[in-house]
A and B are shown apart, each in its own frame.
Chain A
Amino acid sequence: MKRVDSEKSSLQWFLRGAAGIISIPAFILMGAFVGFCSFSYETGVPMVQVAFMTGMMWALPGQLILIGAMIAGASLPAAAIAVGLSSMRLMPMVTVLIPEIRSKSTPTWKLLFLSHFIAVTTWVYTMQNVRDIPENGRLPFFAGFGITMTCANVVLVAVLYGVIDRLPEMVAGALFFLTPIYFITSIWASARTPEVYFAMVAGLILGPIFHHLTPGYSILVAGIAGGIVAFALERTIRKFRGADES
């Protein structure tokens, strides 16, 4: 009896996650994929390959790098290194999200499979919504949102490829500008511990600085350096507070 109940609510949470396709972040991401679509059409990479890599990679920055490598005729190892470096940022994001969505009984193979659907947008959206969901509903909620978003964008790429060969400048600009302001506000709104605010500010400042110092690796270096600074700051504050209270 209990088992039937929990299965039922799992499906309901999955559908609730899937319904997230009608939301601001979903709309913004699809906007970004419309831009990606017109870019890849211009490069001449065929539609089936573009849709295939969207489903298999599900990481827009890496996809842009891979297409760049393909049209430049880069060797397989060169392309793999460039894409791998850009995808490295997914590791800490996945590490943070896993304890939020798993329950004690979640088997690891399930998490390994579902981790494929973690990218920046699904990460931000899930981090923001998951606390309002009971523990047993979190994984299905994420699965519903992640799988639906991935499939929807594969379909979007397949349908719109070649249809929109060039967006009006204004529309493209508005779509591209949605992403940064959405990321800033949603990460800020979903922060539950102070180091997230520090890390946000540190990354915003260090990103441009390392853009000049270490071009090519700036995101990675700025992220690691900014993260360590923010962590140290939060720890120091916590220590002082602890000393005050005792």
Chain B
Amino acid sequence: MSPDSLFDNGYWTYLYILIAGWLVTDVWRWLGVLIGNRLSNDSEVMYLVRSIATALVAAVIAQMVLYPSGALSTTPVWLRISACAIGFSAFLLSRQRMIVGIIVAEVVLFGGLFAMS
């Protein structure tokens, strides 16, 4: 689409991706290995780390549902929240079958969009 010369200057862009992309990402993974290698999964510290890891992912999930980018951003926020809540309830009622939760959530979202259009 836009043949931008900024991206055509060869090695520099790859170096940029390596430093600002690869290195600053994998360094956290390496730290995680060095810490995790010293802990067993029922140690007290591990309970705390597991809580933080889960809460981080949960915060990412909330972000995706409440402040989505792209195609979902035009759908009403109450509908997205309802779809997740109903899908999650269906998941619990079906003895935790993920596929049930996923299908119900999608059906509620698109059922709602069709009903409104």
Contact = CB atoms under 8 A, between A and B. Distances in A.
Interface string B1-12: 111101110000
Contacts of B32: 90-95, 97-98, 115, 118
Given A91-B28, A98-B36, A228 B21 contact: no
Given A52-B14, A61-B60, 15 more contacts: A46-B8, A62-B21, A70-B13, A80-B20, A89-B28, A92-B52, A95-B32, A176-B70, A180-B64, A188-B91, A193-B47, A195-B51, A218-B59, A224-B55, A231-B48
Nearest to B31: A91
A181 B27 CA distance: 29
Interface string A6-38: 000000000000000000100000000001000
A6 B68 CA distance: 46
Contacts of A58: 25
Interface size class of A (residues with CB under 8 A): 35 or more
Contacts, number: 315
Interface in A146-197: 165, 167, 169-170, 172-174, 176-189, 193, 195-196
Contacts of A112: 30, 33
B7 A49 contact: yes
Given A182-B98, A211-B63, A203 B58 contact: yes
Contacts of B34: 108
A185 to B, nearest CB: 4
Interface size class of B (residues with CB under 8 A): 35 or more
Contacts of B2: 44
A167, A180, A198: which has the most chain B beta carbons within 10 Å?
A180
A230 B18 CA distance: 36
Given A200-B58, A207-B62, A45 B67 contact: no
Contacts of A219: 56, 59-60, 63
- The interface residues of chain B, by DSSP majority, are classed as helix
A91 B74 CA distance: 34
Interface of A: 24, 35, 39, 41-42, 44-46, 49, 52-53, 56-59, 61-63, 66, 69-71, 73, 76, 79-81, 83-84, 87-100, 102, 108, 111-112, 115-116, 118, 120, 124, 165, 167, 169-170, 172-174, 176-189, 193, 195-196, 198-208, 210-211, 218-220, 222-228, 230-231, 234-235
Given A97-B36, A199-B51, A24 B98 contact: yes
B58 A96 contact: no
B39 interface: yes
A196 B29 contact: no
Given A188-B96, A198-B51, A91 B83 contact: no
A211 B58 CA distance: 13
